[in-house]
Amino acid sequence: MDLVPRPLRRRDRVLLLAVIGFGFLGVLYFGEFWFFSEARRQPVYFALLSFAIFWGITRSLINWYIYFFITPLPTRASQRSYSVDILTTAMPGEPFPMFEETLAAIQKISYPHRTFLLDGGNDRRLFELCAALGVEHVDCSRIEGAKAGKINHCLRHHSHSEIVLVIDPDHRPRADLFDCTLGWFDDSQVGFVQVVQAYYNRDESFVADAAAEETFGFYGPTMMGLSGLGISTAIGANCIFRRAALDSIDGHAVHLAEDALTSMRLHAAGWRSVYVPYRGTSGLVPADLGSFFKQQFKWSTGMFYLLLHEYPKLFRRFNAVAKAHYLFAGTFYLQGLATLLTLFLPIWFLFLQVFAVEFPLDEFAIHLVPYVAGVAMSYLFVQRWYTHTSEQRLPWRSMVLEKATWHVYVMGLISGLLRRRVEYLPTPKGSDRQAMPRLVLPHLTVIGLSASAIAFALLTYARLDDGTLLMMFFAGLNIALLLPVTWIAIFPRYNWRLPHGAS
């Protein structure tokens, strides 16, 4: 069932502050214990372990800061009328039935609009489909710059409307999309309006469900908080732009992370953005591990690129909130590095019998519990701002999947640092049902090493002190967290919930 988030009442706000305050105090409590106790041992290892642990804690603090500003905006119909164009792209190899459904859904949008299909393959069948549905087919087979290049070409030569919806071909819009959103453009400072990206193939597989779950919080409390800060970001798959805004930054950015760069430039140019928690479109989420990793690799590489090469250029034009936000967004995928450390440090410590810290286990637990409880409480509490009842559940799937994506993020970081060109490819929409053990080779290595490290400690240590027990616990936890995704990579039949082609 769809949920329509209400504006915060006094009771909501008090509870929100209580949850955030509890978590914040928990961080102080653990941080004081961690950094000011006598338990430090080896300084280098201590620094590495501190980074690994406090990376996650920093992200929690950022989330809580964002939640502080949660502002669910209502849908809003416009007082005046706008000219509206809808742009969607086609690439060779994408399945034809998808276009039949998407274009039909677009044409059912009640608000008067023109629709352009920007065809990179200049496909005859698509041409005929467009003719039948009243969609304008634009031959983009010789246009450089992937999706954004085609969009800019169309904006320059074909489309002249005030409002532009850029939508991916797998995303089906709802008929009342513009009736729910255009009102926000009546504020002349608003450069773009973003709506929820829902997925209709969530039930297809474990990966699809987990990958979708990773976005529930984002298209809920996070974006609502960013909206309250005036800095909600544009998402390439379904964003509604004001044409003047796009023109002011010389069109849609051409980049691996084109949507993020476009919103950066728009915010740098002083445009405000609005997020409406309305499930305006429904699309596909990667359903097999291969496409999910590919998508995440693309995004992480793109975000590191932006951080290293674009963020410094725009820095002086950002306001303070944008400066902070894009720094945090650009470093988001550093969690791959943090996860790498949390995976390998216990192994290292157990085999070499070195220690970064030596706490009594019970004291460590006592000091960590308030923070963990704060995270859990805030996770559960902010679920009231999710946009669908089916999203309100324990998010273990996304945790497991995110943990298992660490190697992809690390590759993304390396690509970003080395400036190795990564060719832009649309995220594959098809599903691969082959066993892909190569995708999880690093995981198998980590699982094997962790298990041997635990066995090594059990068999050779004279005494299992608290530090050792803690590291054995971490190693065991890592095995448990990596196992599900490793399992479905090797035995894909456990991934799929629906027979092939059923979704």
Q: Point out which residues bind another protein (CB under 8 A).
A: 17, 20-21, 24-25, 28-29, 32, 65, 68-71, 225, 227-230, 321, 360, 462-463, 465-466
Q: Report d(CA 291, CA 434) in Å as an integer.
A: 12
**Beta-strand pair 238-242/163-167:** antiparallel
**Residue 20 C-beta: closest distance to another protein, Å:** 8
Q: Evaluate whether 146 touches 254 at the Cβ level (below 8 Å).
A: yes
**Residue 30 C-beta: closest distance to another protein, Å:** 11
The DSSP code sequence of 138-153 is: EE-TT--SHHHHHHHH
Residues 184-207, buried b or exposed e (16+ Cβ, 10 A)?
bbeeeebbbbbbbbbbbbbebbbb
Contacts for 421 with CB less than 8 Å, ≥ 6 apart: none
Q: Report d(CA 71, CA 68) in Å as an integer.
A: 9
Q: For residues 69 and 424, which CB has a smaller minimum distance to another protein in the complex?
A: 69
Residues in the chain: 503
Q: For residues 227 and 295, which CB has a smaller minimum distance to another protein in the complex?
A: 227
**Residue 201 C-beta: closest distance to another protein, Å:** 33
Q: For residues 48 and 229, which CB has a smaller minimum distance to another protein in the complex?
A: 229
Write the single-letter amino acid at 354. V
**Residue 450 C-beta: closest distance to another protein, Å:** 24
Q: Report d(CA 99, CA 89) in Å as an integer.
A: 10
**Residue 28 C-beta: closest distance to another protein, Å:** 5
Q: Report d(CA 89, CA 117) in Å as an integer.
A: 6
Q: For residues 421 and 463, which CB has a smaller minimum distance to another protein in the complex?
A: 463
User: What are φ and ψ of residue 23, in 5° steps?
Assistant: -60, -40
Give the start-end residues of each E strand in 65-171: 84-90, 114-119, 136-139, 163-167
Helices 206-216 and 289-305, axial angle in degrees (round to 10): 30
**Residue 438 C-beta: closest distance to another protein, Å:** 43
Q: For residues 190 and 337, which CB has a smaller minimum distance to another protein in the complex?
A: 190
Q: For residues 195 and 285, which CB has a smaller minimum distance to another protein in the complex?
A: 195
**Residue 471 C-beta: closest distance to another protein, Å:** 16
**Beta-strand pair 114-119/272-283:** unpaired
**Residue 25 C-beta: closest distance to another protein, Å:** 6
The one-character DSSP state at 79 is: S
Output the six-digit token pair for 496.
């799929």
Q: For residues 21 and 93, which CB has a smaller minimum distance to another protein in the complex?
A: 21
CA 338 to chain centre: 17
Q: For residues 20 and 164, which CB has a smaller minimum distance to another protein in the complex?
A: 20
For 383, the 3-state DSSP assignment is: helix
Q: What is the sign, positive or negative, of the torsion defined by CA atoms of 43, 48, 52, 54?
A: positive
Q: For residues 57 and 401, which CB has a smaller minimum distance to another protein in the complex?
A: 57
Q: Report d(CA 364, CA 39) in Å as an integer.
A: 11
CA 37 to chain centre: 36
The one-character DSSP state at 1 is: -
Q: Report d(CA 278, CA 467) in Å as an integer.
A: 49
* Run of H or E including 278: strand 272-283
Q: For residues 68 and 348, which CB has a smaller minimum distance to another protein in the complex?
A: 68
**Residue 79 C-beta: closest distance to another protein, Å:** 20
The candidate with the shortest Cα–Cα distance to 188, out of 238, 243, 143, is 243
Output the six-digit token pair for 319.
């306001």
Helices 361-381 and 466-490, axial angle in degrees (round to 10): 40
**Residue 71 C-beta: closest distance to another protein, Å:** 4
**Residue 367 C-beta: closest distance to another protein, Å:** 10
**Residue 370 C-beta: closest distance to another protein, Å:** 10
Q: For residues 273 and 450, which CB has a smaller minimum distance to another protein in the complex?
A: 273
The candidate with the shortest Cα–Cα distance to 279, out of 186, 208, 202, is 202
**Residue 466 C-beta: closest distance to another protein, Å:** 7
Q: For residues 31 and 56, which CB has a smaller minimum distance to another protein in the complex?
A: 31
Q: For residues 215 and 468, which CB has a smaller minimum distance to another protein in the complex?
A: 468
